[in-house]
Each structure stands twice: as structure tokens, then as C-alpha cells.
């Protein structure tokens, strides 16, 4: 049985400022994932604290909260076969200096404090993060993209 998942992806403020929105979206589209929600917004302190609750108390927490609020983000929901692990592969590991060449973070970022993109790390955090930024009626899942047509064929 295939694993259709949803994940929360955000172009962080440094990625927006550097003009990487299109490039990052292109990589997810090109892979075959389906974009089902997107908006630009200024993250509130409350949203930032919810988003990064797991990091509360860590030495970099306050800077992280400031960073995610340092300019608008582009928040997105992507859907697809194994999209959570797959999108983390496309992004590369947290520290751009350790990320594989060819990943977003390796190709476009220098340090982990400014690593241009966020992606959920498991189905539970994906659903939790989606709910911080999107209402149910902002999700547009009522269309078939090419990848879904491929997956339907796999199920036959």
C-alpha cells in the first residue's frame, strides 16, 4: 500500500529575502509532489512558539523565534507518496555544511541559523504544523495531479 502523506513546508524569511521562493517550489513540483495550500505571511510570536515548541529551552531557541519572525515566510502544504521523508531529502540535513550537494540547504545556505527552508519531520508534526498556519478550508486537495494518476495505476 502506498503512503500518501501531507507535510508542512515553509520558505523561511532568509529564503524569501534572497528570492528563492520559486526555486524551492520548483524542486518540490519537479519531484512530483502536489501543492495543496500556499500563502505568504508574517509569523506571530504565538505561531513561532507553537511551531518550535520542541526546541524551547535550547540555547538557540530565542534566536530561532526571532529568525522565523524576521520577515514574511511562504507557508505551504505538499502532498504525495512518502512526502515527509522525501522532502527532507530534497532539503538536506539541518546544517547546510553537512548537507549533501544537490540539496536545497547545501546549494543555497551556509549555516544552520539561516537554512532557508523548513519541513516537518514526521506525520504527527506535519498535522500539528499545518494546523498552526492553515484552516481546513484553505487546503485545495480537490484536484488530481500527475503523481496521483501514477499512484492510481500502481494500485491496480
Site residues for Mg ion per CB under 5 A: 121
Task: Based on the residue annotation, tell me whether 2 is a catalytic residue of this protein.
Answer: no
Nearer residue to ligand IDP within complex by CB, 10 or 37: 10
Nearer residue to ligand IDP within complex by CB, 66 or 144: 66
Q: Does 62 bind ligand IDP (CB under 6 A)?
A: no
Q: Return d(Cα 140, Cα 94) in angstroms, integer.
A: 29
Q: Which of 2, 51, 55, 118 is catalytic?
A: 118
- With CB cut-offs between 5 and 8 Å by kind, which of ligand IDP, Mg ion, none does residue 49 bind? none
Segment near ligand IDP (CB under 6 A); pick from 28-36, 79-87, 114-122, 142-150: 114-122
Segment near ligand IDP (CB under 6 A); pick from 1-9, 24-32, 110-118, 146-154: 110-118
Q: Does 44 bind ligand IDP (CB under 6 A)?
A: no
Amino acid at each position: 500500500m502506498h503512503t500518501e502523506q501531507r507535510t508542512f513546508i515553509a520558505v523561511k524569511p532568509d529564503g524569501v529575502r534572497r528570492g528563492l521562493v520559486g526555486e524551492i517550489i520548483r524542486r518540490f513540483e519537479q519531484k512530483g509532489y502536489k501543492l495543496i495550500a500556499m500563502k505568504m505571511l508574517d509569523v506571530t510570536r504565538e505561531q513561532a512558539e507553537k511551531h518550535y515548541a520542541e526546541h524551547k529551552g535550547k540555547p538557540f531557541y530565542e534566536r530561532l523565534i526571532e529568525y522565523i519572525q524576521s520577515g514574511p515566510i511562504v507557508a505551504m502544504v505538499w502532498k504525495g507518496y512518502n512526502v515527509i521523508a522525501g522532502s527532507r531529502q530534497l532539503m538536506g540535513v539541518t546544517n547546510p555544511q553537512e548537507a549533501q550537494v544537490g540539496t536545497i540547504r547545501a546549494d543555497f545556505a551556509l549555516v544552520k541559523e539561516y537554512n532557508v527552508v523548513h519541513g516537518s519531520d514526521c506525520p504527527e508534526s506535519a498535522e500539528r504544523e499545518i494546523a498552526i498556519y492553515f484552516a481546513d478550508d484553505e487546503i485545495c486537495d480537490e484536484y488530481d495531479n500527475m503523481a496521483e494518476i501514477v499512484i492510481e495505476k500502481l494500485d491496480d
